[in-house]
Homo-oligomer: A and B are copies of this chain.
Amino acid sequence: MLTVNRLDLADAQVLIAGAAARAGEIGIPMCIAITDESGNLLAFERMDGGKVTSITVAQDKAFTAAAARKATHEYNQACVPGNLVFGIHTEVGGRLSVVGGGLPVMVDGEVVGGIGLSSGTPQQDMDCAQAGIDHFLSQRS
């Protein structure tokens, strides 16, 4: 038997609050998705003005980061033609995202969930995803 540590809904809301605050600062309304450690959706918010395509993209980024235990921008670096990783971006029915903006949420060296942001540039999405994690970790200490 395994015992698994996992974000709860309250954690997910803290992650969203941190990411949304940063999105507000930079003036980009975002779609924000939080998954548990298995990649299943815990919470989602589309800020007013977030993009319709980003509803799915944000979820796919969070799913990938949690379920593959890897930031989507790390996959992006490796997913270039000629690298044996190339092609991973079309796997899992297209849900495996290699676009920057998905980060695993780690506690005590263990992945307990994922956060995915979409609607800005990948750099903006990554910045807000990290802000969500920073806020979450600061609340725990």
Contacts and interface: CB of A to CB of B under 8 A. Distances in A.
| Identical copies of this chain, number | 4
Given A2-B48, A6-B1, A99 B86 contact: yes
Interface residues of A, number: 66
Contacts of A126: 84
Contacts of A88: 57, 99
B92 A89 contact: no
B41 A92 contact: no
Contact of A53 (B54, B64, B87, B123): B64
A51 interface: yes
Interface of A: 1-9, 11-12, 36, 38-48, 51-57, 60, 64, 66-69, 73, 75-77, 79-82, 84-94, 96-100, 107, 112, 121-123, 126
